[in-house]
Amino acid sequence: MDKIDLIRTVPIFSELEESTVQQIVDIGLKRKYTKNSIIFLEEEAGAILFIISTGKVKIVRTDDDGKEVILSILGPGDFFGEMALLDGLPRSATVVALDESELFVINRREFIKLLEDSPQVATSLLRELTRRLRRADEQIENLSLRDAVGRVASVIIQLADESGKIRKGQVVIDDFPLQQDLANMAGTSRETISRTIHQFMRLGYVNQKGNSFIINEYEKFKNLFS
Ligand code: CMP
């Protein structure tokens, strides 16, 4: 994908005029990351914004024992790294490439200038940050109020809503995360993920084919667990 097409796929930049898109393209650079490489670490100083061109990344917080919680998985068209640029504090989380990824980067000065020059970019950024806050509120509710089965179901529903393809009432999630990553999203163990998914399969709620995960009657599944 060339740089102009990439910028057009980023929701916060999608309504910009041609000349502003060209301006972003001129100031940004492409960077490649191999699978599992660390893009940056929590607590590092940060001076650039990243936009995902290809691949996926996970946003994680880790404790002193190396136990990890996944805050989000982001894919093409998503951005990250804006928080340290906006408040000047260190990076709030670690970001790791889940696949071989190509990212487009913009430095702090250019990003702030873009926000100051373009009210549409500023408003879209606030909309996306609001969406992330709503999602984080849901995660807090899930982690604090639900049992393990409910938490696993919620993570599956979240993935379906964000990246599933719906067809005849079924939702197919391609590139379904690894069981350990699901566990780190649901705040549970890999064993619980395995057991719960098998239980859902026995009940006929879901199926797995290779890397794809299928929810058979999505609305019904959603109603059962929300
Ligand atoms: P920054 O703090 O610079 O570095 C880590 C990045 O992870 C942060 O900016 C955000 O872009 C992203 N991030 C942090 N928390 C979340 C979250 N709950 N959901 C999605 N993205 C997040």
Residue to mutate, 92, 108, 133, 158, ligand 1, most ligand atoms under 8 Å from C-beta? 92
Task: Report the distance separating Cα 208 and Cα 94, nearest Å.
Answer: 30
**C-alpha pair distances (Å), 30 with each of 22, 53, 58, 192:** 15, 9, 19, 39
Query: What is the arithmetic mean of pLDDT over 11-28?
Result: 85
Residue 8: per-residue pLDDT: 85
- At residue 2, does pLDDT exceed 80? no
12 or 57: which carries more pLDDT confidence?
A: 57
Cα angle at 188 between 91 and 74, to 5 degrees? 40
Query: What is the arithmetic mean of pLDDT over 169-178?
Result: 94
Residue 66: per-residue pLDDT: 83
In the chain, the N- to C-terminal Cα span, in Å, equals 38
* Nearest alpha carbon, ligand 1 atom 11: 80
Q: Using an 8 Å Cβ cutoff, are 108 and 85 in contact?
A: yes
Query: What is the arithmetic mean of pLDDT over 41-66?
Result: 94
Q: Using an 8 Å Cβ cutoff, are 95 and 38 in contact?
A: yes
